[in-house]
């Protein structure tokens, strides 16, 4: 189970890293206008809108076949990138669009497959593994392939990406061909209506929207803050990316163990508090204009809190999904989370620009509070979901 989760979530993170980390660098090096580079976020809406075709994954075929087909598509597109001339024309954008749609479809099938095969008592450890693999893949797809491109050329970089997808494809073809007892579903709206009829459904969905709000707010402004404090790109990358990812993975592993040891409700509450309080580091250093080592410490604390919150949040999402409708329901929940990310980014920039960094960082501490106050309202619902047979 652990090795399967690692391979599958590496496959989820790899295309996300390629699109969000590698492609902006590639486009700018090829003198593409910033406005065009910004359109990548429009293509990336497929990761949020995937809920609308998730019923197809639940209804037709098996999760293994959907995963294999999506990975094969991304591998072929990566080969296309490697073979095409180093120009950015219409063909490039068509390939990127196909790539992101295949990635979003893969996410639906992988999430549903993982929910079906993971025992409830393993939610914490499995989520630790999946987040670790996902974040390693983002580094590989972004920084790793960028290094290959800089040293050996962009064709080699995209060819390396295609080779990585080929390895994942081999793993996907060996997955259990499990259809389970999924019933035929008529429509997305029927599935979502079923979910909405649950006790406290509106509160659960509100918690999904709000639980990571403070963290999603602060991460958008961390790198600009470092730049405005005068630190070099190399130092920013080393601390916020290399050290940051390592620390956040440690936080995810610790969070997964806490979920397994103390149960989902208590983990959601206490890890949510830790996640929110971790933003205090940046609030303090911005307020007193602290020096280098204090900012390093703030980065470490914030990333560890990010990891703790991630472990609890993902276990929560998996627990409130019905296994027979896992693809549709998980896609809906992650779309809600994606909406949080889309909405809070512009708000964060406006607050930081108009009120200054100290006020902004302090505000992110309070952004995390509403979800914590809502948790007691669904305590019994969470307990019931945990008690359900696997």
pLDDT reported for residue 363: 95
Angstrom distances, CA of residue 387 to CA of 5, 226, 324, 384: 23, 46, 17, 5
CATH fold group of domain 2-184 = Growth Hormone; Chain: A; (1.20.1250)
The Cα angle at residue 215 between residues 210 and 219, in degrees rounded to 5: 135
Q: Which CATH superfamily is domain 190-387 in?
A: MFS general substrate transporter like domains (1.20.1250.20)
**Which residue stretches of the chain have pLDDT < 70?**
1-2, 28, 34-41, 119-125, 127, 177-189, 191, 223, 233-234, 236-238, 241-242, 323-324, 326-327, 387-390
Evaluated on CA atoms 389, 3, 21, 156, the torsion sign reads negative
For residues 234 and 221, what is the distance between their CA atoms, to the nearest angstrom? Answer: 18
Evaluated on CA atoms 85, 86, 88, 94, the torsion sign reads positive
Let me know how long the chain is.
Answer: 390
Token pair in block for residue 321 = 């999904």
Angstrom distances, CA of residue 155 to CA of 161, 251, 282: 10, 36, 40
Question: What tens digit of pLDDT does each residue of 259-313 get?
Answer: 989 999 999 999 999 999 999 999 999 999 888 999 999 999 998 999 999 889 9
Residue pair 324/115 in contact by the 8 Å Cβ criterion:
no
pTM strictly above 0.85: no
Residue pair 173/19 in contact by the 8 Å Cβ criterion:
no
CA-closest candidate to residue 241, choices 311, 307, 303: 303
342 φ, ψ (degrees, to nearest 5): -65, -35
List all residues 6 or more positions away from 261 whose beta carbon is below 8 Å from its beta carbon: 124
* 146: Cα within 13 Å, side-chain hemisphere: 19
pLDDT reported for residue 5: 76
pLDDT reported for residue 141: 81
CA-closest candidate to residue 352, choices 218, 211, 244, 237: 218
pLDDT reported for residue 97: 93
Domain residue spans in the chain?
A: 2-184, 190-387
List all residues 6 or more positions away from 265 whose beta carbon is below 8 Å from its beta carbon: 375, 379, 382, 383
pLDDT reported for residue 186: 46
For residues 160 and 37, what is the distance between their CA atoms, to the nearest angstrom? Answer: 23
Residue pair 307/255 in contact by the 8 Å Cβ criterion:
yes
Question: What tens digit of pLDDT does each residue of 68-105 get?
Answer: 999 999 999 999 999 987 777 888 889 999 999 999 99
pLDDT reported for residue 376: 94
């Amino acid at each position: 189970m652990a090795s399967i989760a690692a391979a599958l979530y590496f496959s989820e993170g790899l295309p996300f890293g390629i699109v969000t980390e590698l492609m902006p660098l590639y486009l700018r090096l090829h003198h593409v206008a910033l406005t065009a580079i910004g359109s990548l976020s429009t293509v990336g809406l497929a990761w949020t809108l995937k809920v609308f075709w998730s019923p197809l994954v639940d209804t037709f075929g098996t999760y293994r076949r959907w995963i294999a087909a999506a990975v094969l598509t991304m591998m072929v597109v990566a080969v296309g990138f490697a073979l095409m001339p180093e120009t950015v024309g219409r063909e490039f954008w068509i390939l990127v669009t196909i790539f992101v749609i295949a990635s979003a479809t893969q996410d639906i099938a992988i999430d549903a497959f993982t929910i079906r095969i993971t025992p409830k008592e393993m939610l914490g450890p499995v989520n630790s593994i999946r987040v670790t693999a996902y974040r390693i893949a983002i580094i590989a797809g972004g920084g790793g392939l960028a290094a290959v491109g800089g040293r050996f050329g962009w064709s080699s970089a995209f060819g390396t990406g295609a080779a990585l997808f080929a390895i994942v494809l081999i793993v996907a073809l060996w997955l259990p061909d499990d259809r389970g007892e999924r019933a035929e579903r008529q429509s997305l709206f029927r599935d979502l209506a079923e979910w909405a009829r649950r006790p406290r459904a509106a509160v659960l969905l509100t918690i999904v929207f709000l639980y990571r709000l403070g963290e999603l707010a602060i991460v958008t402004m961390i790198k600009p803050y470092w730049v405005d404090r005068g630190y070099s790109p190399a130092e920013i990358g080393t601390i916020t990316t290399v050290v940051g990812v390592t620390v956040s993975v440690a936080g995810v592993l610790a969070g997964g163990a806490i979920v397994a040891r103390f149960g989902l409700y208590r983990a959601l509450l206490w890890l949510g508090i830790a996640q929110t309080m971790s933003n205090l580091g940046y609030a303090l250093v911005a307020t007193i204009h602290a020096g280098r080592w204090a900012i390093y410490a703030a980065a470490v604390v914030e990333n560890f809190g990010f990891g703790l919150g991630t472990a609890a949040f993902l276990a929560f999402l998996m627990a409130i999904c019905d296994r027979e409708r896992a693809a549709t329901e998980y896609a809906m929940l992650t779309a809600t989370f994606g909406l949080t990310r889309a909405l809070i980014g512009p708000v964060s920039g406006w607050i930081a620009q108009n009120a200054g960094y100290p006020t902004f960082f302090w505000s992110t501490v309070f952004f995390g509070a509403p979800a914590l106050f809502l948790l007691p309202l669904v305590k019994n619902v969470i307990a019931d979901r945990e008690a359900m047979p696997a």
